[in-house]
Amino acid sequence: MSRALRIAGVGCGLLAFVATCATSVACYAVLPAPARDAAQGFLADVRASQWQSAVQRTSAAYQRDHDAARLQREVERLPRLARHTDATFMNATLDGETAVLDGVLVTPDGEVPIAVELEHDAGYWYVDLVVVQGAPLE
């Protein structure tokens, strides 16, 4: 194979690699930032045991049946949620006024999958459902 063909092949390979990386970064960047921020805020409140603030970040439907004390009890039923140290969301699905974010929770025992469903209401995103490793936050 000639030197020119090898250089062209390497150049095309590098171009494909850069395009793949740029697409991955762009896909992460288009995760709905306000929804992602709302989910991260809820999880930060859970980490800090700020139950009143956490419950205020939930949807009106969730708040009808949950006060801060009940939210705390429900979180404690999911030890990985209760003890997580960080979360990263990598995928989002938008359907009208609903967003579902998928990612991982970082826990002392390793990473576990998390999904957070949010509802858009009056200009804000509110947590409606949290599922950690297949177990829903009731």
Distance CA 87, CA 81 (A): 10
As a whole-number percent, the residues of the chain with pLDDT over 70 amount to: 78
What pLDDT band is residue 10 in, cutting at 50, 70 and 90? low
pLDDT tens for 42-97 read: 999 999 999 999 999 999 999 999 999 999 999 999 999 999 999 999 999 999 99
Asked if residue 84 lies in contact with residue 107, where contact means CB atoms within 8 angstroms, the answer is: yes
pLDDT at 1: 63
Average pLDDT, the chain: 87
C-alpha distances in angstroms, 103 versus 9, 26, 37, 47, 77?
36, 17, 14, 17, 20
Q: Kindly provide the b/e burial profile for residues 31-61, where b requires at least 16 CB atoms within 10 angstroms of the residue's own CB.
A: bbeebbebbbbbbebbbeebbeebbebbbee
Distance of CA 123 to the CA centre of its chain: 19
Helix (H) or strand (E) run with residue 11 in it: helix 3-29
pLDDT at 135: 97
Listed range (23-27, 119-123, 131-135) with the worst mean pLDDT? 23-27
Query: In the sheet where 110-121 sits, what is the strand order?
Result: 86-95, 98-107, 110-121, 124-132, 135-136
Distance, first Cα to last Cα, the chain: 63
